[in-house]
């Protein structure tokens, strides 16, 4: 699909509203999401059928040029073949007309993207962890979602209803005036809408092209370094020397007692059993809904707190320095995994990234993952070879500085804004140039040589207290795509 390019002065953002559908509308919503899942499974089966056929033919000794050709997985090819098959395929022939075409297009587009990501991952052209071949979506586990790109997609004039293709007019749980006013003024245009069921209710998210005037921050000349932690969620040190801390609200820990009680109640009820085909009892469904309500409340509280924090930071400072944290690796530490997940480190960086772009004259600097911000002295620049996680106070062996570990890391981060680097050099070596490929640098922190200690500058980058960084090895790129 062709990516939408906004006009100059316009940005693409989402407006999300909770829905209050009636029984018939909720059944239609579930039918559309089920149609998207069915189309996705059809596409996966149709493409992989040629893979299995080729694999079997190889065992029969069929020549390479005589093998069954690969079936294409581009969206136009899948859409053309599906439109021909849906009228005769017994899996769709009886009910495909009940849903909008956008429901099936959602599943086909997701399947096409899944095959593209798999092929790029096999060829080494996609960053991140290796991706496996697309698999069928199970009804009980698949997320309910459907995207609409054409048809009647609008926010009604009353400000309490939205209209979607084939679904009709659905009442919203909250007013839609924030989007309706912009649409009526001509400063916003709805591009698409996505309905999704999460946290126990339905939501409609509108992708909108909005004319947004860049707003200046309150202190554009001030930079801030943000160090994330578990005991203290955020330690912010700005270029004026001021240090502020934000306590970790720990929403999940606060609800853990209630959650344990609700989980014990669920365990005493007769729940579902897929091995025997046993259906859950009404009492189990009621208890499970009460337990899910606790989870949903924790998630909503966390989302609200993170949005308030990132909005305040992006509205005040002209330069924000954040860390490139290996959150996946940090979650492998079972001692702090629950609290790290509850803090939402990745969400903080994601929100700061796009919120700072909405402000005039602001920028975000991402510190290198291997920069020892906690081990580097913020006063003289000396680097400790080792600094255990249980040591919460930094004591410099060279200049005698004694400072809180998190405060020291935040001061080192804000110094990157003045240095103009992201910390890709080897820590402790002031004259070491920045490497073009940070992952080619030495993973071990070297202690500063005594003759280089005095006046040593700060290298760039950042690490997080409580973070256990593991050695990353670059995987060799495959020369060609090997599907099987």
Residues annotated as catalytic (active site), given as ranges: 227, 323, 406
Taking alpha carbons only, the member of 266, 271, 255 closest to residue 290 is 266
- CB 326, CB 469: distance < 8 Å: yes
Give the single-character DSSP code of 420: T
Q: Is the dihedral of CA 187, 192, 193, 198 positive or negative?
A: negative
Taking alpha carbons only, the member of 130, 131, 140, 177 closest to residue 156 is 177
Taking alpha carbons only, the member of 461, 386, 400, 449 closest to residue 425 is 461
Parallel/antiparallel/unpaired status of strands 359-360 and 215-216: parallel
Give the single-character DSSP code of 459: P
Residue ranges with strand state E in 382-444 = 393-395, 402-404
120 three-state secondary structure: helix
Q: Is the dihedral of CA 108, 110, 111, 113 positive or negative?
A: positive
What is the side-by-side order of every strand in the sheet holding 161-164? 154-155, 161-164, 168-171
* 262 Cβ neighbours under 8 A, 6+ residues apart: 287, 290, 291, 294
Q: How far apart are CA 38 and CA 103, in angstroms?
A: 10
Parallel/antiparallel/unpaired status of strands 232-238 and 154-155: unpaired
Give the single-character DSSP code of 134: -
- CB 458, CB 376: distance < 8 Å: yes
- CB 316, CB 219: distance < 8 Å: yes
What is the side-by-side order of every strand in the sheet holding 201-211? 10-18, 201-211, 188-198, 145-148
Output phi, psi for 138, to 5 deg: -90, 140
């Amino acid at each position: 699909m062709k990516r939408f390019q906004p006009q100059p002065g316009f940005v693409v953002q989402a407006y999300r509203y909770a829905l209050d559908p009636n029984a018939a509308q909720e059944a239609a919503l579930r039918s559309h999401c089920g149609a998207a899942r069915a189309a996705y499974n059809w596409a996966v089966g149709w493409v992989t059928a040629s893979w299995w056929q080729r694999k079997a033919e190889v065992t029969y000794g069929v020549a390479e040029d005589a093998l069954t050709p690969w079936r294409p997985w581009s969206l136009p090819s899948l859409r053309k073949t599906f439109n021909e098959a849906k009228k005769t395929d017994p899996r769709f022939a009886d009910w495909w007309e009940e849903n909008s075409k956008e429901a099936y297009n959602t599943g086909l587009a997701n399947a096409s993207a899944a095959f593209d990501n798999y092929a790029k991952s096999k060829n080494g052209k996609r960053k991140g962890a290796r991706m496996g071949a697309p698999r069928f979506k199970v009804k009980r586990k698949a997320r309910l979602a459907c995207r609409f790109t054409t048809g009647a997609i609008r926010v009604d004039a009353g400000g309490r209803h939205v209209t979607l293709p084939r679904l009709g007019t659905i009442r919203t749980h909250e007013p839609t005036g924030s989007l309706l006013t912009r649409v009526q003024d001509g400063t916003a245009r709805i591009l698409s809408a996505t309905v999704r069921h999460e946290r126990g209710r339905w939501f409609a998210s509108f992708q909108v092209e909005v004319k947004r005037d860049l707003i200046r921050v309150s202190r554009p000349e001030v930079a801030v370094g943000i160090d994330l932690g578990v005991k203290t969620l955020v330690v912010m040190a700005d270029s004026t020397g001021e240090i502020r801390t934000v306590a970790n609200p720990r929403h999940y820990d606060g609800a853990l007692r209630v959650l344990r009680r609700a989980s014990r109640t669920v365990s005493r009820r007769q729940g579902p059993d897929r091995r025997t085909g046993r259906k859950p009892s009404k009492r189990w469904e009621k208890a499970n809904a009460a337990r899910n309500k606790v989870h949903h409340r924790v998630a909503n509280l966390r989302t609200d707190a993170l949005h308030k924090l990132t909005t305040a930071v992006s509205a005040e400072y002209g330069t924000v320095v954040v860390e490139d944290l290996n959150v996946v690796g940090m979650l492998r530490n079972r001692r702090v995994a629950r609290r790290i997940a509850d803090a939402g480190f990745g969400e903080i960086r994601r929100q700061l990234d796009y919120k700072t772009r909405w402000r005039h004259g602001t920028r975000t600097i991402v510190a290198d993952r291997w920069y020892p911000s906690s081990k580097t002295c913020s006063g003289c620049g000396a680097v400790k070879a080792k600094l255990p996680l249980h040591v919460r106070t930094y004591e410099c062996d060279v200049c005698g500085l004694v400072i809180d570990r998190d405060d020291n890391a935040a001061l080192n981060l804000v110094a990157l804004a003045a240095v103009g680097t992201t910390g890709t050099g080897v820590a402790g070596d002031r004259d070491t140039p920045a490497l073009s490929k940070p992952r080619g640098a030495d993973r071990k922190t070297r202690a500063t040589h005594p003759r280089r200690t005095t006046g040593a500058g700060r290298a760039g980058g950042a690490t997080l207290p409580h973070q256990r960084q593991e050695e990353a090895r670059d995987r060799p790129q495959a020369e060609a795509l090997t599907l099987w």
